[in-house]
Amino acid sequence: MGDMLSQAEIDALLSKEPLDEESEGEGLLLQDAEMFKYVEYEGMLAAQTTLSTILGQNTKIAIDNIEVTTWEQLGKDYDSSQAVTAFSFKGKVKGTNLLLMAADNAKRIISSMTGEGTTDDKAPLSEFDLGVLGEIMNQAAGSFVTATSALINDNISITPPDVSEYVLSTSNDVYDRSDSIVKIVCTLDIESISTDYILHIMPLSMASEIAELKQAVDNREIYDSKEREVVMGKAKKSSMDGKKANNDTAQYKFSESSIEKGAHSGNMHVVDNVNVQPAQFQLFDDSISQAIEKKNLNLIMDVPLQITVELGRTHKLIRNILEYGPGSVIELDKLAGDPVDILVNGKSIAKGEVVVIDESFGVRVTDIVDASKRL
Q: What is the pLDDT of residue 23?
A: 35
Q: Give pLDDT tens digits for 316-342.
A: 888 888 888 898 888 888 888 889 999
> Which of 86-90, 232-236, 301-305 holds the top average pLDDT?
86-90
C-alpha dihedral, 191 to 133 to 114 to 129, nearest 10°:
-130
* pLDDT for residue 45 is more than 60: yes
Burial of 35 (0-12, 13-18, 19+ CB in 10 A): buried
Average pLDDT over residues 69-85: 91
pLDDT surpasses 70 at 263? no
Task: Tell me what the mean pLDDT of segment 15-25 comes to.
Answer: 39
**149-194 confidence digits (pLDDT tens):** 999 888 888 898 899 999 988 876 778 777 889 999 999 999 888 8
Is pLDDT at 345 greater than 50 in this prediction? yes
Confidence tier at 20 by pLDDT (50, 70, 90): very low
Indicate if the pLDDT at residue 22 is higher than 60. no
- Write down the pLDDT at residue 47: 94
Q: Is the pLDDT of residue 260 over 60?
A: no
Q: Which of 122-126, 140-144, 200-204 shows the lowest per-residue confidence on average (mean pLDDT)?
A: 122-126
Q: What is the mean pLDDT of the chain?
A: 79
For the cut 70, the answer to whether the pLDDT of residue 91 exceeds it is yes
Q: Check if the beta carbon of residue 78 is closer than 8 Å to that of residue 168.
A: yes
What structural domains and CATH numbers belong to the chain?
7-217 (3.40.1550.10), 300-373 (2.30.330.10)
Q: What is the pTM of this model?
A: 0.55
pLDDT at 293 over 80: no
What are the distances in angstroms from CA 25 to CA 18, 37, 73, 308? 6, 19, 16, 58
CA atoms within 13 A on the CB side of 29: 7
Q: Which is higher by pLDDT, 292 or 73?
A: 73
User: Which pLDDT belongs to residue 111?
Assistant: 87
Please give, one letter per residue, the 3-state secondary structure of the chain: CCCCCCHHHHHHHHCCCCCCCCCECCCCCHHHHHHHHHHHHHHHHHHHHHHHHHHCCCEEEEEEEEEEEEHHHHHHHCCCEEEEEEEEEECCCCEEEEEEEEHHHHHHHHHHHHCCCCCCCCCCCCHHHHHHHHHHHHHHHHHHHHHHHHHHCCCCEECCCEEEEEECCCCCCCCCCCEEEEEEEEEEEECCCEEEEEEEEEEHHHHHHHHHHHHHHHHHHHHHHHHHHHHHHHHHHHHHHHHHHHHHHHHHHHHHHHHHHHHHHCCCCCCCCCCCCCCCCCCCCHHHHHHHHHHHHHCCCCCCCCEEEECCCCCCCHHHHHCCCCCCCCCCCCCCCCCEEEEECCEEEEEEEEEEECCEEEEEEEEECCHHHCC
**Residue 229: pLDDT band with limits 50, 70, 90:** low
